[in-house]
Amino acid sequence: MYRIGIDVGGTFTDFVVTDERSGETVFHKVPSTPHDPSEAIASGIEALLQMRGIDPRDVSHIGHGTTVATNLIIERKGAATGLITTAGFRDVLEIGRQTRPHLYDYSVGKAPALIARANRLEVPERIDAQGNVLVALDEAAVRDAARQLRDADVQAVTICFLHAYRNPVHEQRSREIVAEEFPQAYISISSDVLPEFREYERLSTTALNATVGPKMALYLERFLNRVRELGVARAPSTIHSNGGLMSIDTVRQFPVRTCLSGPAAGVVGAAAVGRTIGFRNLVTFDVGGTSTDVSLIHDGMPLFTSTRAVAGYPVKTPMVDIHVIGAGGGSIAAIDDAGSLKVGPHSAGAVPGPVSYMRGGTEPTLTDAEVALQRLNPVALLNGRMPVDAEGARRVIRDRIAQPLSLTTEDAAEGIIRIANANMARAIRSVSTERGYDLAEFALYAFGGAGPLHALEVAQECGIGTVIVPQEPGTMCARGILLSDISFDFVRSRIALIDAHTWPSIVDAFVGLHAQADAWLDQEGVNAAQRSFVLAIDARYVGQNFEVQVAMDTVGAADLAAFEAGFRAAHVREYGYDVPGRAIEVINCRLKAVGAVPKAPLTPAGASGADASAARSGERGIYHGKRHGWQSTPVYDRARLAPGATLQGPAVIEEMSSTTVLAPTHALRVDAYGNLIVRVA
């Protein structure tokens, strides 16, 4: 039987196929099809099945990561959406937290409200913070609001009432009424999407869920149909932002949870590989066609967050803590109004793409700079399947950048790369040094199509001593999907001062979460032996505005002392101090349900051999920066570099999905699992 992992990126769609019996793994890439991402998925699966002679009925699992929801938010192409909310609260989306997007730059404006004010409707109802009904729901008003939104041609309806996280009865009844009056609408209610307090974040997340829901459902239906047409009987799963898998039905209900779908899989995969090869502290460095994603893995585990902004909109769901910047292979280089060279955040994307890709691109990009300096193969990429126009890359950099700045073409191309590297290094510091982590204790785990191209220079700039390049790094996110378990996060807000009298209410909350999680795992088809649960409590000292998260092994009647000790330790770790004697307030109870799935084991790559000469495939001139200039550089085929092989730079290691460039001062070895381990002076 075979397991297929798929990651849909902005420029390429990546595939990994693993044979469950032998552990053999095959990698594949095809250009993405932004007009319909499922088209690239179908063509890639079909090509893989034909190339490997696989019967579609022998495919036991398909997991996929997607950027569809993220792109809909970023490009503001979601469905027209309406809102039904508590009387007096229609403008919460506009008011927000009354903070500016950028403290000192007044030219940076707030993102426009997700829902037009005319489509934000109020109805009489009120529930207090304890869940008691103060004002009964006016069902006639809800019915009128549903009709107004239907007549306004909206496609989705958000329902978000004050304190619905404590008592969802009014939201649930309103959903029934809207479904009766407006059956075509996609409906999201906040007590399902995010049953937590803080109404602005809850409303924003629920509104985003509704906004992307209709188009996400259409994409999923196309995806399912194309997979069925190929003869694959097993329904696909989707990776979501916490690094776990969920069924298509769950994605339809909670599409907002896929905002970091693919990048989260890459971090999960990197953590699994790092634990296997003995590197438990990693900075993941994922450079694709449109963005660079960086994250921290500490002691073998990814770091998580529950709040982030996507295109200026707060999204509050548990997710891998990933910092994203607009720097990728397709990032456009341009001269700004002050006459300075800038790279990104705008990207040429998959279409028209870099000039060197010959798809109609007209602006110089980071990829064009790599091709112009011949760090990337100037003839073809993807093992020869994708021709490259090196002369076009040099010409556009010369005309658009070099001549206006009175530079040579080499200096202009190197400048583009160095600016991109500086932006990437700044992103790495933001997730590490700025949070109290010493980068000298970490290795840089480079993947994505362009990650290994930049990793060595970025590591040197950040003071990181080791760079790890996995096999076929351009497909690492797809590979990570095959190393992920089924999982989903459940939360209940229980705001209470904690002592011996109130602790039982927290225990009761976890009993309810366990029941909810078991019901979901039943729905996902996970048997009892494969289930596990991760527990945590968000808490703070009385008088504080923000919480720290306390991991718990169990939450039972006898666990109050363990919680208090855990909270004080977490507070010291987060803030550097403790406040003995001050009362502790619990805010949220969290439970992650995990269903283990079969995974192909990470096994050694095979026979070893220290001689790298057999892997040498050619030689070409490469510009290694102003210090070293153009040098004739040997080129090696990554697939033929055996474990134990060593190389001294300058050298280029090429593979289907990526390229690694060693400067004259760099050296590498191939470890037992086929990873390139580079020591950076």
- For 670-681, what is each residue's pLDDT tens digit? 999 889 999 987
Distance CA 328, CA 293 (A): 9
- Whole-number Å distance between alpha carbons of 68 and 61: 21
User: Pseudo-torsion of CA 285, 287, 288, 290, nearest 10°?
Assistant: 120
66: nearest Cα among 234, 238, 204:
238
pLDDT along the chain (681 residues), means of 10: 86 85 83 86 91 89 87 85 96 85 78 92 95 96 97 96 96 97 96 92 95 93 91 89 90 90 87 93 90 91 83 86 83 90 83 88 93 93 87 95 94 94 92 86 92 93 94 87 91 93 96 96 92 95 92 95 95 89 95 87 67 88 91 93 90 91 92 92 70
- Would you state the pLDDT for residue 609? 66
pLDDT at 346: 82
385 belongs to a structural domain: no
User: Residue 63 domain-assigned?
Assistant: no
Of the candidates 262, 247, 270, 259, which has an alpha carbon nearest to the alpha carbon of residue 306?
259
d(CA 141, CA 162): 16
Residue 327 covered by a domain: no
Query: Which residues face 676 on adjacent strands?
Result: 469, 670
Query: What sign does the dihedral 73-76-77-82 (CA atoms) show?
Result: positive
**125 lies in a domain?**
yes
State residue 345's pLDDT score: 82
The distance of Cα 167 from the centroid of its chain, to the nearest Å, equals: 32
In tens, the pLDDT along 545-587 reads 889 999 999 999 999 999 999 999 999 988 889 999 899 999 9
Q: Residue 345, preceding bond cis, omega within 30 degrees? A: yes
Q: Which is it for strands 676-679 and 466-469: parallel, antiparallel or unpaired?
A: antiparallel
The tokens for 493 are 């807000």
Cα separation of 574 and 594, whole Å? 27
The candidate with the shortest Cα–Cα distance to 177, out of 141, 148, 142, 125, is: 142
37 in a structural domain: no
Is 352 contained in some domain?
no
Give me 362's structure tokens.
């007209």
Q: Please tell me the distance from the alpha carbon of residue 183 to that of residue 150, in angstroms, as a whole number.
A: 9
- Whether residue 256 contacts residue 311, with contact meaning beta carbons closer than 8 Å, is answered with no
Strand partners, 595: 486, 531
320 exposed, middle or buried (CB, 10 Å; 0-12, 13-18, 19+)? buried
Looking at 541, 568, 595, which one is the last position of a domain?
595
**Helix or strand run (H / E) with residue 453:** helix 451-462
177-208 burial: b if 16+ Cβ within 10 Å, else e: bbeebbeebbbbbbbbbbbbbbbbbbbbbbbb
**What number of other Cβ atoms are within 10 A of residue 632's Cβ?**
9
Residue 63 CA to residue 31 CA, distance in Å, equals 19
Q: What is the CATH number of the domain that holds 561?
A: 3.30.1490
> Hey, CA dihedral for 76, 82, 84, 86, is it positive or negative?
positive
- Of 541, 567, 595, the one marking the end of a domain is 595
Residue 514 lies in domain: 486-595
Q: In angstroms, rounded to a whole number, what is the distance separating the alpha carbons of residues 638 and 655?
A: 5
Number of Cα atoms under 13 Å in the Cβ half of residue 668: 29
Question: Rounded to an integer, what distance in angstroms lies between the CA atom of residue 211 and that of residue 368?
Answer: 36
- Domain assignment present for residue 402? The answer is no
Q: What share of the chain is helix, strand, coil (3-state, %, to 5)?
A: 35, 30, 35
Write the secondary structure of 234-282 as one string of H (helix), E (strand) and C (coil): CCCEEECCCCCEEEHHHHHHCHHHHCCHHHHHHHHHHHHHHHHHCCCCE
Q: Per the structure, how many domains does the chain have?
A: 2
What pLDDT does 608 receive? Answer: 65
The predicted model scores a pTM of 0.85
Q: Is residue 522 part of a domain?
A: yes
Structural domain ending residue among the three candidates 595, 617, 638: 595
